[in-house]
């Protein structure tokens, strides 16, 4: 029986709080009668909400109230949001859903689901700053396609989350406005750049959230905050409305407290968009059709699945606690029937420099539009060049300036071949080596980051150390592949330990497999509770 599977002995065992404490998630305990089995964090909240709304066990207004309450109590501690929607408007939307249900009208599949949006994704009539001072107060006249689809499905936008300016950073410290804390340990970073989106889901301030992933900006914070992060294949989700950082690498990704939720969320935003020429016209399969509840799983549900552990990701330079958590996860996959072997990607270490050249180059171009002429903060200046120079000097933070300078340099005449062109060649090699590895394996696994969350300020003055932290994730962006990060264990740190994420990489457009494997993995992983203590301490008190 699966339920008897215990974490391997060598797995870190810090937070064994799970079952012993009372339900941390107050509102969801009222959902219990619907799902029959006791609610666990590894099950879909979106589906639970839908069930309880349609069965009238819970109203959207009640649900919204409880989230807003928790948000109000936790937000001063973690600072996830750059903008929080007007509670009255949010409750009004919830009321509209309740009214529809009352009238037996159809409601969207995401009706009543509170969603947070990373602030580099445009939302109409709501500030969208990209975490940059240069766009302070900017309100776009349109919704990003992903946001529009969520709204069309009935989701309610609860606010805009903090990020490293324009997505450039791995800690969310590079935001022009505030520093977000990790709900597991308030002295630590939530990761980045989608730190606000990850932390807000971790702190249950919202049900799910959207982030963006250029070099790991969804997966690394998911790992740091103990939530599920899903980076889709490049082209799966429209980038229209996502403020471009590096156009050939950027994707909008999903956060949730379960694989099922991220799968449902991704399904909602996937598909071709006529406003994005790089969005794929491939059919989007229903990722959720693969869901099987824990009780009906076979004994070895992943029998024969070929799993390749990328050797280079568990080498030197990776935290030993992280290594053992990943090995534990690998052992768990084996117990589920997977055939595990190590694979080597010799080009793996080339990914980091190639990534930083390509991403910086594209960003130096993408950020040219922030010139103070048409929108955003404008410096007052005597003449045109000074207007540009001062608007940009004052508007951009130092990390952004550094990357613009690096990118400008790499694209300059005489350097283009040595940097940009060579990095593109490396990219081709990486893409091929991943393709080969994924021809031989169904999925590849690795840590999502070389370490768990580190202290705020720890790497702020050491950009190279921070960049090195992206080693696990950038290759996936260069290859354009989908990857799922889900919590698989803990390392020592903080009051109760710090979560560690397992990265599962799939073949292009095979998100379905990632969601299926992840869903089985999280349902069968016993002994962990990935709800941070903050919720029980702060949120629980209010319950």
Partner 1 sequence: MASTFFRTIQIHPFLLYPTALFSRRNGVLYCTMKSSQTQTATQEKQQPPKVKVPQHALKKTVDKITRDYEAIIGIETHVQLSTLTKAFCSCPYNYGSQPNTSICPICMGLPGALPVLNSKVIEFAVKLGLALNCKLSLNSKFDRKQYFYPDLPKGYQISQFDIPIATGGYVDLDLPLEFGGGHRKFGITRVHMEEDAGKLLHSGNGDYSQEITSLTSIYSYFSKHTVDLNRAGVPLLEIVSEPDMRTGIEAAEYAAELQRVVRYLGISNGNMQEGSLRCDVNVSIRPVGQSEFGTKVEIKNLNSFSSINRAIDFEISRQALLHSQGQSDQIVQETRLWEEGAQKTVTMRKKEGLSDYRYFPEPDLPEVILTQEYVDSISNSLPELPEAKRRRYEKMRLSMQDVLFLANDMNVAEYFDATLSSGADIKLAANWIMGDIAAYMKNEKLSINDIKLTPQELAELIASIKSGTISGKIGKEILSELLAKGGTVKGLIEEKDLIQARLEIIVYPYERTELNFLIADPVEIGKMIDKVISENPKQLEQYRGGKTKLQGFFAGQVMKLSKGKANPGLLNKILLEKLNGQS
Residue 193 preceded by cis peptide, ω within 30: yes
Asked whether the beta carbons of 84 and 71 are under 8 A apart, the reply is yes
Q: Which DSSP state fits 140?
A: -
Q: Is 126 in the site for partner 1 (CB under 8 A)?
A: no
What would you measure as the largest C-alpha separation in the chain, in angstroms? 75
By CB under 8 A, name the one of 372, 469, 497, 518 that touches partner 1: 372
By CB under 8 A, name the one of 30, 300, 381, 543 that touches partner 1: 381
Distance of CA 67 to the CA centre of its chain: 20
- Residue 170 CA to residue 148 CA, distance in Å, equals 27
Nearest approach in angstroms of CB 54 to partner 1 is 34
Nearest approach in angstroms of CB 370 to partner 1 is 8
Nearest approach in angstroms of CB 122 to partner 1 is 4
Instruction: Give me the catalytic one of 118, 160, 231, 516.
Output: 118
Q: Which of residues 177-216 bind partner 1 (CB under 8 A)?
A: none
CB atoms under 10 Å from CB of 530, counted, come to: 25
By CB under 8 A, name the one of 30, 248, 327, 335 that touches partner 1: 248
* 118 given a catalytic annotation: yes
Q: Which of residues 15-44 bind partner 1 (CB under 8 A)?
A: none
Backbone angles phi, psi at 84, to 5 degrees: -110, 130
By CB under 8 A, name the one of 38, 54, 384, 418 that touches partner 1: 384
- Residue 184 CA to residue 158 CA, distance in Å, equals 22
* Nearer CB in complex with partner 1: 54/386: 386
Q: 254 - beta bridge partners?
A: 210, 230
374 class by beta-carbon count within 10 Å (0-12 exposed, 13-18 middle, 19+ buried): exposed
Backbone angles phi, psi at 518, to 5 degrees: -60, -40
Nearest approach in angstroms of CB 268 to partner 1 is 19
Q: Is 275 in the site for partner 1 (CB under 8 A)?
A: yes
* Nearer CB in complex with partner 1: 12/129: 129
Q: Is 139 in the site for partner 1 (CB under 8 A)?
A: yes
Nearest approach in angstroms of CB 254 to partner 1 is 18
- Residue 522 CA to residue 530 CA, distance in Å, equals 11
Instruction: Give me the catalytic one of 217, 223, 324, 433.
Output: 217
- Residue 181 CA to residue 398 CA, distance in Å, equals 21
Q: Is 157 in the site for partner 1 (CB under 8 A)?
A: no
**Beta strand segments in 319-473, E:** 339-343, 443-447
- Kindly list the distances between the CA atom of residue 254 and the CA atoms of 43, 64, 340, 406, 509, in Å, as whole numbers in the listed order: 16, 20, 27, 29, 15
- Residue 314 CA to residue 241 CA, distance in Å, equals 36
* 289 given a catalytic annotation: no
Stretch that binds partner 1, among 197-205, 276-284, 300-308, 472-480 (CB under 8 A): 276-284
Q: Is 496 in the site for partner 1 (CB under 8 A)?
A: no
Q: Is 388 in the site for partner 1 (CB under 8 A)?
A: yes
Q: Is 376 in the site for partner 1 (CB under 8 A)?
A: yes
Q: Which of residues 417-436 bind partner 1 (CB under 8 A)?
A: 420
The residues assigned a catalytic role are 118, 193, 217
Contact residues for partner 1, defined by CB under 8 A = 120-122, 128, 130, 135, 137-142, 144, 239-244, 246-248, 274-278, 361-362, 364-365, 367-378, 380-388, 408, 411-413, 416, 420
């Amino acid at each position: 029986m699966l339920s008897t599977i215990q974490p391997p002995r060598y797995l870190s065992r810090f937070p064994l709080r799970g079952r012993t404490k009372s339900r941390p998630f107050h509102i969801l305990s009222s959902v219990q009668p619907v799902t029959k089995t006791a609610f666990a964090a590894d099950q879909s909240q979106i589906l639970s909400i839908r069930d309880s709304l349609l069965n009238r066990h819970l109203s959207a207004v009640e649900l919204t109230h409880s989230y807003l309450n928790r948000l109000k109590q936790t937000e001063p501690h973690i600072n996830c949001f750059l903008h929080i929607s007007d509670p009255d408007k949010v409750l009004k939307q919830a009321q509209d859903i309740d009214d529809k249900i009352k009238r037996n009208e159809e409601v969207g599949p995401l009706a009543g689901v509170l969603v947070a949006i990373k602030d580099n994704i445009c939302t109409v009539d709501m500030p969208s700053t990209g975490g940059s001072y240069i766009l302070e107060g900017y309100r776009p006249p349109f919704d990003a396609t992903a946001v529009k689809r969520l709204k069309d499905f009935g989701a309610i936008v609860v606010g805009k989350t903090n990020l490293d300016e324009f997505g450039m950073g791995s800690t969310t410290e590079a935001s022009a406005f505030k520093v977000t804390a990790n709900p597991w340990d308030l002295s630590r970073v939530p990761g980045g750049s989608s730190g606000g989106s990850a932390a807000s889901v971790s702190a249950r301030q919202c049900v799910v959230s959207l982030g963006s992933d250029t070099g790991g900006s969804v997966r690394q914070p998911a790992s740091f905050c103990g939530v599920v992060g899903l980076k889709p294949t490049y082209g799966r989700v429209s980038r229209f409305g996502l403020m471009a950082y590096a156009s050939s690498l950027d994707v909008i990704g999903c956060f949730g407290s379960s694989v099922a939720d991220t799968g449902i969320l991704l399904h909602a935003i996937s598909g071709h968009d006529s406003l994005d020429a790089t969005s794929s016209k491939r059919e989007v399969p229903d990722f959720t059709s693969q869901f099987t509840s824990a009780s009906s799983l076979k004994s070895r549900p992943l029998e024969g699945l070929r799993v390749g552990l990328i050797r280079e990701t568990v080498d030197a330079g990776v935290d030993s606690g992280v290594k053992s958590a990943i090995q534990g996860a690998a052992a768990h996959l084996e117990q589920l029937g997977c055939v595990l072997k190590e694979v080597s990607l010799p080009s793996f270490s080339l990914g980091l420099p190639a990534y930083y050249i390509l991403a910086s180059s594209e960003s130096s171009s993408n950020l040219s539009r922030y010139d103070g002429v048409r929108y955003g903060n404008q410096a007052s200046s005597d003449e045109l060049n000074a207007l540009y120079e001062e608007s940009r000097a004052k508007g951009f933070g130092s990390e952004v300036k550094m990357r613009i300078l690096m990118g400008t340099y790499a694209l300059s005449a005489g350097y283009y071949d040595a940097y940009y062109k060579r990095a593109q060649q490396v990219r081709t090699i990486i893409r091929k080596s991943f393709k080969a590895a994924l021809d031989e394996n169904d999925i590849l696994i690795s840590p999502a980051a070389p370490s768990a969350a580190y202290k705020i300020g720890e790497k702020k003055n050491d950009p190279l150390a921070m960049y090195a932290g992206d080693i696990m994730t950038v290759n996936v962006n260069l290859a354009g592949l989908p990857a799922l990060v889900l919590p698989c264990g803990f390392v020592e740190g903080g009051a109760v330990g710090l979560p560690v994420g397992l990265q599962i990489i799939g073949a292009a457009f095979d998100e379905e497999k990632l969601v299926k494997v992840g869903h089985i993995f999280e349902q069968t992983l016993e002994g962990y509770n990935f709800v941070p203590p903050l919720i029980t301490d702060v949120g629980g008190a209010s319950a």
